[in-house]
Structure 1
Amino acid sequence: MKTYTVYILKCADSSYYTGVTNDIDRRIYEHENAVNPTCYTAGRRPLVLVFCEHFEDVNEAIEFEKQVKGWSRKKKEAIINDNWDKLRPLSVCNNITSHKNYKKQ
């Protein structure tokens, strides 16, 4: 059975790149060797694989990749550090303008 991997690379500039692949070894090689010179990671090498999660369903993998790509740096670092329990608190909006922080005058 084919597996699909959602992965996060930490780039030399400390940014994160999130992707999905059906062959993680090939994909890491492509990133490290700038096979696509216009790729986000091409000018940000060296790269370090800091996270990967495997899926049997390609649609679940793609859905998770899209979700992670939209996350804040802190949320990405939570899963990188295997702190999945921190995701919910990190999702709470703490802006002063948030409805939960609104105080009637």
Structure 2
Amino acid sequence: MTAGDSETCTVYIITNKTNTTLYTGVTKDLKRRMYQHKNKVRPKTFSARYNLSKLVHFEKFKSKEKAYLKERQLKKWNRDWKVQLIEETNSDWIDLTKMI
């Protein structure tokens, strides 16, 4: 195992104000990444085009490999499964950005 393998990573789901579009991502720095989403630092990305900046779900992992596996798993899920996951811990779909 290399030093980079033990980095904490976060898998997250963001949406827009009306909760109509979901985006799943992974990052080593969720606070920085949410700043980028909210300020559309990368204006041509999917999240910027669809105004996705409301953090509705996140999970931390002790290795980047586990985080990337979870992200790939979630990206394969249908919307109903993702909604169920979000509502298990955030039934009101509040923006969790202040929690990070």
TM-score, scaled to structure 2: 0.75
Contact 1:21 1:27 in 2 (8 A): yes
- Cα RMSD for the two superposed structures: 1.7
Whether 1:4 and 2:24 are equivalent positions in the alignment is: no
| Higher RCO, 1 vs 2 (CA within 8 Å, ≥6 residues apart) | 2
**For residues 6 and 33 of structure 1, what CA distance do their matches in structure 2 show?**
20
CA deviation map 1:46-85 (0-9, x unaligned): 62100000000100100100110111000001110127xx
Q: How does 1:10-21 map to 2 (within 5 A)?
A: 10-12=15-17, 14-21=20-27
Q: How does 1:16-31 map to 2 (within 5 A)?
A: 16-31=22-37
Contact 1:12 1:44 in 2 (8 A): no
| Structure 1 gap ranges (5+) | 84-105
Which of the pair is proportionally richer in helix? Answer: 2
**For residues 35 and 46 of structure 1, what CA distance do their matches in structure 2 show?**
12
Aligned residues with identical type, % of pairs: 37
Match of 1:16, as an amino acid? L
Aligned CA distance change for structure 1 residues 46 and 58 (closer, same or farther; 3 Å): closer
Whether 1:47 and 2:33 are equivalent positions in the alignment is: no
**For residues 54 and 7 of structure 1, what CA distance do their matches in structure 2 show?**
9
Match of 1:8, as an amino acid? I
- Greater Rg, structure 1 or structure 2? 1
Aligned CA distance change for structure 1 residues 46 and 40 (closer, same or farther; 3 Å): closer
TM-score, scaled to structure 1: 0.72
